[in-house]
Homo-oligomer: A and B are copies of this chain.
């Protein structure tokens, strides 16, 4: 088969109740619309009456139908199976906002991976409740917005952030060690679209000062957990976790320093997967394809 133009790649994510014929309908639809499946992953919680999840990468040739038309046409298939779904061009970069406080390790990891081409997103702005990271962020050519937060101004500050995020048409938010708890209003404005890094192996050491708690408990591994933010603190769907071996010689402070290396790795993986449409949230869990 000869094509004069390079194909464009797109991704399809599907969640629905499992029943026979879904894969066949989806793949036949794609084939009939001149799309070549490049990769597909599928998972059912239970083939009889469970939930069905699927991720498909496909190549579309411009001398066939245009992407917008394919997407529109797919609605019919989706309706048949009552799917939740999304179809996106790979070339359509997500707009990612980063929230940061004073610590820079997670922020810099994301910025470095972004500049190195490992993390394919646009970063229209970084928001912080402190001014410390302004220079580092602006050195990457990214606007840095300082929105101080006090107990009294929190509501107002959040509204200002929400307005900015809407103005910049932000797709998702990464809390790169942002040390403020977001209100339910804020969370509700970006459902399943806020990724946080918690500095422990959840559900161990929920809440503040996990390294101090880990030190007290005398653990032999410390961890970090990247998860979507929900209204329940540190209880949202887990995306990724990783750990690091430590021993009795580590002080609480040394655990904190060592832990930074796990935090940035776990967060960077989670953000990469989200940006590549590799994650489906169901209930309080994630499917990572």
Contacts and interface: CB of A to CB of B under 8 A. Distances in A.
Interface residues of A, number: 65
Interface stretch (A39-47, A79-87, A124-132): A39-47
A232 B104 CA distance: 39
A27 interface: yes
A145 B199 CA distance: 39
A7 B24 CA distance: 19
A220 interface: yes
Contact of A39 (B7, B26, B44): B44
A105 interface: yes
A138 to B, nearest CB: 11
A30 interface: yes
Contacts of A32: 24
A234 B278 CA distance: 36
A37 B31 contact: no
Interface of A: 1, 7, 19-24, 26-28, 30-32, 34-44, 47, 59, 104-105, 108, 112, 116-118, 139, 201-205, 217-221, 223, 237-243, 247-249, 257, 260-261, 265, 284-288
6 contacts: A27-B28, A104-B116, A108-B112, A201-B201, A220-B241, A248-B286
